[in-house]
Amino acid sequence: MSIIAEYGQWFIILVCIFGFLMAWGVGANDVANAMGTSVGSKALTIRQAILIAMVFEFAGAYLAGGAVTETIRKGIIDPGLFASSPELLVYGMMSALLAAGIWLVIASIMGWPVSTTHSIVGAIVGFAAVGVGSEYVNWSKVGSIVSSWVVSPVLAGVISFLIFKSVHKLVLNTKDPFASAKRWVPMYMFFVGLLIGMVTLLKGLKHVGVSLSFWESFGISLILGVVVMLLGTALLSRIKLDPEENRDFRFTSVERVFSVLMIFTACAMAFAHGSNDVANAVGPLAAVYNIVSSGGLVASKSAMPAWILLLGGGGIVLGLATYGYKVMGTIGRKITELTPSRGFAAELGAAATVVLASGTGLPISTTHTLVGAVLGVGMARGISALNLQVIGTIIASWVITLPAGAILSILFFFMFKGMFS
pLDDT in tens, 246-305: 777 778 888 888 888 888 878 877 887 777 677 778 888 888 888 888 877 776 555 667
For every residue of the chain, which 3-state class applies, written as one string?
A: CHHHHHHHHHHHHHHHHHHHHHHHHHHHHHHHHHHHHHHHCCCCCHHHHHHHHHHHHHHHHHHHCHHHHHHHHHHCECHHHHCCCHHHHHHHHHHHHHHHHHHHHHHHHHCCCCCHHHHHHHHHHHHHHHHHCHHHECHHHHHHHHHHHHHHHHHHHHHHHHHHHHHHHHHHCCCCHHHHHHHHHHHHHHHHHHHHHHHHHHHHCHHHCCCCCHHHHHHHHHHHHHHHHHHHHHHHCCCCCCCCCCCCCCCHHHHHHHHHHHHHHHHHHHHHHHHHHHHHHHHHHHHHHHHHHCCCCCCCCCCCCHHHHHHHHHHHHHHHHHHCHHHHHHHHHHCECCCHHHHHHHHHHHHHHHHHHHHHCCCCCHHHHHHHHHHHHHHCCCHHHECHHHHHHHHHHHHHHHHHHHHHHHHHHHHHHHHHC
Phi/psi of residue 403, nearest 5 degrees: -65, -35
Measured CA to CA in angstroms, residue 235 lies from 214, 258, 419 at distances of 31, 11, 59
| CB proximity list for 55: less than 8 A, separation 6 or greater | 270
**Across residues 65-91, what is the average pLDDT?**
75
Give the count of beta carbons closer than 10 Å to the beta carbon of residue 388.
Answer: 10
Confidence of residue 1 (pLDDT cuts 50, 70, 90): low
Segment 150-194, tens digit of pLDDT = 888 888 899 899 998 998 899 888 888 888 988 998 998 898 888
pLDDT over 90 percentage in the chain: 15
pLDDT in the model for residue 207: 53
Mean pLDDT (the chain) is 82
Confidence of residue 199 (pLDDT cuts 50, 70, 90): low
47-56, 73-82, 118-127 — which is least confidently predicted? 73-82
pLDDT in the model for residue 420: 86
Question: CA-CA distance, 368 to 41, in Å (whole number)?
Answer: 19
What angle (nearest 5°) sits at the alpha carbon of residue 86, between those of residues 140 and 204?
60
**Across residues 226-243, what is the average pLDDT?**
86
Nearest CA to 195 out of 153, 224, 233 is that of 224
Q: How many domains would you assign to the chain?
A: 1
Question: CA-CA distance, 74 to 271, in Å (whole number)?
Answer: 24
Segment 313-332, tens digit of pLDDT = 888 888 888 887 777 766 66
144-148, 259-263, 407-411 — which is least confidently predicted? 144-148
Domain of residue 46: give its range. Answer: 2-420
